Amino acid sequence: MKKEKLIQIKNTFIKVLVYCVVLSGLALNSSCKRKGCTDTKACNYDSKAKKDDGSCDYSCNNNNNNPPPGCTVVKITENISSITEWTEGKIYVIETNLTITSILTIKPGVIVKIAKNKAIIVQGSNGKIIANGTADKHIVFTSVSDDSYCGDTNADGTLTTPQRGDWANIDLRSSGTVLKYCDIFYAGGYTTYSSAIALDVGSSQTTIDHCTIAHTRLNDYASAAAFWGWQYTKPGETVFTNNIMYDNDRPMIVHYNYTVDESNIFHNPANSSQTNKRNGIFLLGTGGFQGVVTLGVTEVPYIISDWVQVNSTEKALIVKDNVIVKFGGVSGQISVTNSGTFTYGTNSIFTSIKDDTRGGDTNGDGNATAPANNDWEGICIQTPGQGGCNWLQQNVFYSKH
């Protein structure tokens, strides 16, 4: 009897021992395969993880003393009056209006965050920004509340989120600035120029290429646009190509003598339904054309706000096929005199800015207004030496003539 009891105890002990060994093996195997955050600087660092799974979170320590890797904070509190370079791996926080009177070179991959209502002003004979980003490493200008770039720089957790018009703009008052592969978000808070980029006196020789401008402030200011150029956009001097503009008020305001390059895009490439509130190219100014101007963009309409004239053999207005031209008021008119050249495509459209059926809701008022006859003057084509107007009728809608 005792012998049988001993055998039973022995068997039980062996079973327990085997069970423990199996459990230990499973635990060891599980430990070997465990994935998690392996960065000791992260908030969710897992000391038992053997393989990093990309889940590292730095939101608990994204402040000026302990930023995420590659995001060393540099506070900018003084103007730039000597040659300066901003380098990758740093996030530059502009805490006051920044005036640049020398050359500021910004390297690819740099993040620039701007405090509430603050502007970047480039002026003087030597003032310019050389920001040559690349397709792989854009340069970003955004709100200090934008935690999607280098984390919570203003160290307020989720208390603030980026908003349209958080910061003012890039105000260019001198020539030579180059912005390539730059992303400019949440600007337009400046009351004088409610835009993300503004060309001011003496800034016509500017290059803006492969940039994205989005989330600019919406308002009724005459300068409310992603890009404001008006009389400072000059043919042959101002380069504005391959840019993307979406979620702004108006994408572009330029002088009527400026030919807008057809490479620009007026919607979010990732979501084609995300466009701009008043999605068009607004041509400001009145008077005679100074050379040959081509209206060739077909994605959005052009808006002529006043009276313009083609008045000599050296002057020409070319409206390509499928282009829509809208007129913004009763004085809106194209006048062709003295052998001036005016050509248009068989599918070109000339209509009122209130005409939402052609080119969309360009005045951004929904259904508040509807087009009607006499909304604008018309297109007057004079026969040389005869005077008077032969009013164009083909593809013309809601004009007086």
Question: What average pLDDT does this structure show over 363-384?
Answer: 94
Question: In the structure, what pLDDT confidence band is assigned to residue 312 with cuts at 50, 70 and 90?
Answer: confident
Share of the chain above pLDDT 90, in %: 70
d(CA 355, CA 346): 19
Per-residue pLDDT at 6 exceeds 60: no
Question: pLDDT value at position 46?
Answer: 79
Question: How many CA atoms does the CB half-sphere of 383 hold within 13 Å?
Answer: 3
Hunting for tokens 């603030």 — which residue is that? 160
Q: What is the structure's pLDDT at 383?
A: 79
Are 49 and 38 a contacting pair, CB within 8 Å? yes
| First-to-final CA distance of the chain | 122
pLDDT digits (tens, 9 = 90+) for 131-154: 999 999 999 999 999 999 999 999
Three-state SS annotation for 36-68: EECCCCCCCECCCCCEECCCCCCHHHCCCCCCC
CB-based contacts of 129, cutoff 8 Å, min separation 6: 100, 104, 106, 120, 122, 170, 177, 178, 179
Looking at residues 278-286, what average pLDDT do you find? Answer: 95
What is the reported pLDDT for 60? 53
Average pLDDT over residues 219-244: 90
The pLDDT assigned to 48 comes to 78
pTM: 0.83
Q: Name the pLDDT band for 212 (thresholds 50, 70, 90).
A: very high
Q: What pLDDT sits at residue 38?
A: 76
Q: Report the share of the chain in percent with pLDDT over 70.
A: 87
* pLDDT-derived band at 27, boundaries 50, 70, 90: very low
Reference 138, options 102, 185, 205; nearest CA is 185
- C-alpha torsion sign, points 349, 283, 172, 115: negative
Q: Dihedral of CA 235/239/244/248: which sign?
A: negative
Structural tokens at position 39: 């960065």
Average pLDDT, integer, range 57-76: 69
So what's the pLDDT on residue 41? 52
Q: Residue 326: what pLDDT?
A: 98
Kindly tell me if the per-residue pLDDT of 99 is higher than 90.
Answer: yes
> Which residues, 6 or more positions from 331, have their beta carbon under 8 angstroms from its beta carbon?
306, 307, 376, 377
Q: What is the pLDDT of residue 9?
A: 56
Among residues 252, 246, 256, 235, which one has the least CA distance to residue 198? 252
In the prediction, which pLDDT does 36 show?
82
| pLDDT value at residue 59 | 54
User: Which position has the higher pLDDT, 111 or 221?
Assistant: 111
Question: In this predicted structure, which of 36-40, 216-220, 322-326, 333-337 has the lowest mean pLDDT?
Answer: 36-40
Cα R_g (the chain), whole angstroms: 31
Least reliable range by pLDDT among 59-68, 322-331, 372-381: 59-68
* Mean pLDDT of the residues in the chain: 88
Q: Which amino acid type is present at position 368?
A: A
